[in-house]
Structure 1
């Protein structure tokens, strides 16, 4: 290729190289706005370099070649400018929708293709002629229909971008306003120069001064970058700030109508109301909130608590009400900040329940230590003293035989108590596992009945079990055995002579087996029944003065819950007690 360089061409090529280097320098910096601006500079650099080489070309075919390259920059420049302005004004969510981005760049791609194939359709240029009358040859272009369409598109994106930047910065601090003026002026210069060229106002003949104007624009924006710290100090869009805040905000006018709100506010309402919030009266969104309406009516500021029920969910909210008068704004307005206290209250309730549970466990622990110190130690000391007296001949064999039934009951009580304490203590250890197996309920009941027959025979109590073979349950067998043993112990303890204890089992819904242990003994009062499973009940003596601790049924409840079961008890004084155990059945 041959070139005849002139002052215009050299100026454009030099400025294009500088712009290209500056674009590369900015591209390496962090930030989406900086990167988009570097793309815009790259488009301008391509336009300037290619146009400079076009002005230095001596033939029309060479001019056409560089004109085709120019449109790589010309067609993408308005799009990159518009994307840069969207990012700068906080509207970047718009171009992050893929469809919008495709639509904008599709015009650029179509323009490039039409320019490159213009000889076949002449939609972009009607004709391109060589003008050799000036000191250096130049191309004279007669616009086509697509050329005019692209020009409108070019100015539309340029104007919209400039407007967005102006609106964003107009109420900003002083440093932002200086940035705004610089960017606004930078956009205005090429706009006016290109408009003058299209209207025929051409002081240099057919030379298009638009690339020179864009170089001026780049210099102005470069001054904003280094003088006013553009891209280092950027205003944050109001929508982004409010939508990132987790608390809900809404603004009311003087008639208590909603005129603005943020994204978090919509989470408190179902989808059908979200579309109608603007313009609604506040009492329509918060019905029955008399205290809120009183604050608004009397222009009072402060914090109040609201209970909002949307039908699908309920919220505990704290409303912070602030009134702005006409001296602060052009119109009277009210700002309400809504903080969701639902999770905080739930955590507080959970903490309270945990505290109460811990208190009960501490009471139970103190009770266990008391039992170990007194009830467990006492029978063992008595047995030791009696054996010592027998060995030293302080009592006779006949006297020892008379004492042996009482000693036997004390030892049986001590054994059961120690077993309960050991099992409960083991179950409270961290990492203690449950060994769930499938076992025959009838066999386990028979073993427990046989275990209790001696103590039942003393009171002539008849234990009747009606559990069919093949009733399988899926649970920790040892735990269920301890539960049944404790309940039978209590039944025998509070039964009179010749009472009956009935044991039965039936299948229930939801894969559960109902095991019922019922007696016609002494029964319990309602007060005793309410304290039965919390370890707070006072030990009650049996019908033959048998001792108890109240610890056994606490263990029963704990073990049933660990096995995904449930324990229920009903009792009536002097009529008896019925225990219902719901046990999971086999999963097969």
Structure 2
């Protein structure tokens, strides 16, 4: 090949080679935006080098050869610029869709093929010839339809990329204004140069100054990379970090207008991503906050609590207000961090309730162990000693018969106590299941009355049941049986001789059956009534000195609640008690 180099060719070849090395260096750096910028520099390097050798060529065949190489860079340069702007502005999801990417690369591929095959169809260049009127030979071109369509594509991608940068920079913090201006000004240079070339303003004849302009653009952005650390403190990275934070941040200017914020701030006002917030006064978003307005007016920094009611709900917020002083970036800016105390207070309340419940359970367990150590051990020791005395002929048969009623009561008490402890302990085990089924409530009541009839007869207590046959209840049969057994046992225990116990069942409006067990016994004192189901009250002996633990009612409440029911009690001292059980029917 024959070359006659000139100053313009030297400039393009020199800076094209420098751009080539810079593109390789940037491509090796981490970060997708940096790599796109490196690829864009590669496209410009190909265009500049090939155009430099074109300007140094004198034959039309050699010029057309380098033009075909130029178009490898010309067609990919606007594409790489647009991809760089998409990534830099945080809109990289768009080009990751195969269809969108396919539409973008179709035009560069098609245009390159049309340039390489132009001699067969003249769609890109209608005609061309060597212009020898200047200081050195240059190609004069008559553009075709393909050339004009590609020009539209070229400007469209340049415009879209510049628009994305401008939109992003409008919302960015003032700390980035120097790097923002450098990129926007750099992006405008090729626009101005290429438009003047297409409009016919050509001070150097047919010399196209666009690749020179792109060289200047790339070096201005490269200056931003190193001087302003453009890719080390990307605004998009900063905004994504802020948006991932749970705490809300908002920045105000001197007129108390919002100039920056994160997504968590919008959450308190039920705003969508596209709701415009920039420029709104903070008092319009948070009305009725005189203390906050006083802090802002006086330029005070500090922490205060706000009660905010918006469409998103009611919030208790902690506002951390910081005014930037003169040694910082902007003395007129105010930063407010909002911490949601609502959830923290709810969690604290839940933790307190759980702590109290745990303390109650621990107290109940301590009490159960105390019962096992004393009340359970005592009757068994007594029985063991009497049996030893009989075995050693230390007491007569008549003496044993005298002791047997007392032993019988102790054994019955011990049996009931063991049952309640075992049932309660089993219910506290993790994974303990409830076998709900439909069963006839009347049959259960009749069986329990038969079970308690001997003890009732001993005190001449009359038990009357008025439950209709076929009253079906949906619950765990064993659990309800234990509940009824405990309540009947207590009713008999606190009845005097000749008292009456009534049992009836009625339907309620909310599809429940209300089972009532009424007695006209001793009744319950009001102070004891308040903590009857908590296990805190001390056991009271019955009318015939029967012992109890108070554990049975704890089991009753637990079992009823596990079956989606509830248990209530009404009582007056000396008039008797009414225990009501509400059970689901389906």
Assess same fold via TM > 0.5: yes
CA contact (8 A) 2:493 2:543 kept: yes
- 1:473 CA drift (Å): 3.5
Give CA deviations for 1:216-272 in whole Å, capped at 9, x if unaligned. 6556766876x6696763344564454333212234556655555432111112349
- Select between 481-490 and 68-77 the one with higher mean Cα deviation: 68-77
- Select between 341-350 and 136-145 the one with higher mean Cα deviation: 136-145
CA distance in 1: counterparts of 2:583 and 2:58, whole angstroms: 96
Residue 358 of structure 2: aligned partner = 358
Residue 234 of structure 1: aligned partner = 233
CA distance in 1: counterparts of 2:221 and 2:297, whole angstroms: 51
- 1:69 CA drift (Å): 6.8
Change (3 A) 1:47 1:469: farther
Q: How does 1:416-565 map to 2 (within 5 A)?
A: 416-508=416-508, 512-565=512-565
- 1:527 CA drift (Å): 1.8
Change (3 A) 1:300 1:165: closer
Change (3 A) 1:283 1:24: closer
Residue 397 of structure 2: aligned partner = 397
CA contact (8 A) 2:321 2:337 kept: yes
Q: TM-score w.r.t. structure 2 length?
A: 0.79
Residue from 61, 72, 92 that aligns with 2:90: 92
Change (3 A) 1:508 1:229: same
Change (3 A) 1:568 1:153: same
- 1:536 CA drift (Å): 0.4
CA contact (8 A) 1:266 1:274 kept: no
Q: TM-score w.r.t. structure 1 length?
A: 0.79
CA contact (8 A) 1:565 1:582 kept: yes
Q: How does 1:296-315 map to 2 (within 5 A)?
A: 296=296, 299-310=299-310, 313-315=313-315
- 1:137 CA drift (Å): 6.6
Residue 133 of structure 1: aligned partner = 132
Does structure 1 residue 321 correspond to structure 2 residue 321?
yes
Residue 31 of structure 2: aligned partner = 31
Aligned-residue CA RMSD (Å): 4.7
Change (3 A) 1:231 1:450: same
Change (3 A) 1:257 1:529: farther
- 1:554 CA drift (Å): 0.7
Residue 41 of structure 2: aligned partner = 41
Give CA deviations for 1:341-366 in whole Å, capped at 9, x if unaligned. 22221221111111111111111111
Give CA deviations for 1:415-473 in whole Å, capped at 9, x if unaligned. 10111112222222334333444443333322221111111111222222333444444
CA contact (8 A) 1:75 1:108 kept: no
CA distance in 2: counterparts of 1:566 and 1:44, whole angstroms: 80
Give CA deviations for 1:109-167 in whole Å, capped at 9, x if unaligned. 66886894999999976x43212637987531245765775676577468668878998
- Select between 258-267 and 519-528 the one with higher mean Cα deviation: 258-267
CA contact (8 A) 1:459 1:498 kept: yes
CA distance in 1: counterparts of 2:400 and 2:583, whole angstroms: 45
CA distance in 1: counterparts of 2:304 and 2:568, whole angstroms: 43
CA distance in 2: counterparts of 1:23 and 1:511, whole angstroms: 78
* Matched positions, count: 574
CA contact (8 A) 1:254 1:332 kept: yes
CA contact (8 A) 1:124 1:146 kept: no
- 1:493 CA drift (Å): 1.0
Give CA deviations for 1:502-527 in whole Å, capped at 9, x if unaligned. 22334556664433322232222332
- 1:531 CA drift (Å): 0.5
Change (3 A) 1:30 1:248: same
Q: Which runs of 5+ in 2 are unaligned?
A: none
Change (3 A) 1:461 1:110: same
Give CA deviations for 1:278-298 in whole Å, capped at 9, x if unaligned. 666655544554544554565
CA distance in 1: counterparts of 2:256 and 2:158, whole angstroms: 42
